[in-house]
């Protein structure tokens, strides 16, 4: 379970999103080699509710919309743990499916006239994206109640196109956007175990590609059984 607060601002548009999500993780060691390396498989399913707060700005004029988005996805990974005292080094490959739905919405003028004459409406949007990744993780067991994890990797988007439909005044637009084919990422976590079944973590995710960078920080609660 978790919560994210995302804020992005530009000259013409502000985005302030609140995300509430829950998920389940599965991890299992398939075999242990003679030298002690562990071959593992892991999987995760998750779903999220995103409360969007969108603001369009034209000079001193503003228009707003508050559509909801619903995200869901599953991923699976295969990797190997190389254990050295308190350190674990883990190369991994994985496959991910990410789906989503955003409600149709209209931009409503709240300060002056920021929309075109006749109004602006974005129609409902669906996402179905597949990707693969390769990564390398360093996990460190510093203390019984303090651990850390750093992951570096690259993501390959298999079907990077996203379609969108909108209306500006009397003009209807069908557009197609392309995600970067390759994205590099870094993830870090500071993990605080409360007991054998429950732990809390502070996390950072960074995504980097030819079009720009995104940075996300969030807290996460996990229960193991």
pLDDT band at 197, cuts 50/70/90? confident
Gap between the Cα atoms of 135 and 114, Å rounded: 44
Reported in sequence order, the residue ranges of 85-160 that DSSP labels E, i.e. its strands, are: 87-102, 105-111, 120-122, 125-143, 146-157
How does strand 2-9 pair with strand 38-58?
unpaired
Task: Please state, in angstroms and rounded to a whole number, the distance separating the CA atoms of residues 100 and 162.
Answer: 11
d(CA 16, CA 29) in angstroms, rounded, equals 40
Higher-confidence residue: 214 or 73? Answer: 73
Query: How many CB atoms sit inside 10 A of residue 102's CB?
Result: 19
Domain borders along the chain are 2-186
Q: Which of 129, 125, 120 is nearest to 163 (CA)?
A: 125
141-172 pLDDT, tens per residue?
999 899 999 999 999 999 999 999 999 999 99
* pLDDT computed for residue 132 by the predictor: 98
């Amino acid at each position: 379970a978790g919560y994210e607060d995302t804020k992005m601002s530009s000259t013409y548009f502000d985005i302030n999103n609140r995300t509430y999500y829950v998920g389940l993780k599965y991890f299992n060691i398939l075999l242990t080699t003679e030298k002690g390396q562990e071959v593992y498989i892991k999987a995760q399913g998750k779903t999220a509710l995103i409360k969007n707060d969108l603001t369009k700005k034209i000079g001193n004029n503003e228009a707003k919309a508050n559509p909801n988005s619903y995200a869901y996805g599953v991923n699976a990974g295969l990797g190997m743990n190389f254990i050295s005292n308190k350190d674990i080094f883990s190369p991994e490959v994985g496959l991910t499916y990410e789906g989503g739905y955003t409600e149709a919405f209209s931009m409503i003028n709240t300060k002056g006239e920021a929309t075109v004459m006749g109004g602006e409406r974005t129609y409902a949007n669906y996402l179905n994206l597949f990707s693969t990744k390769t990564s390398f993780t360093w996990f460190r067991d510093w203390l019984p109640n303090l651990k850390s994890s750093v992951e570096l990797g690259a993501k390959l988007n298999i079907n990077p196109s996203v379609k969108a439909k909108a209306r500006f005044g009397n003009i209807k637009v069908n557009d197609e956007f392309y995600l970067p084919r390759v994205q590099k990422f870094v993830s870090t976590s500071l993990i605080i175990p409360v007991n054998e079944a429950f732990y809390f973590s502070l996390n950072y995710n960074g995504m980097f590609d030819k079009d720009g960078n995104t940075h996300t920080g969030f807290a996460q609660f996990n229960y193991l059984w």
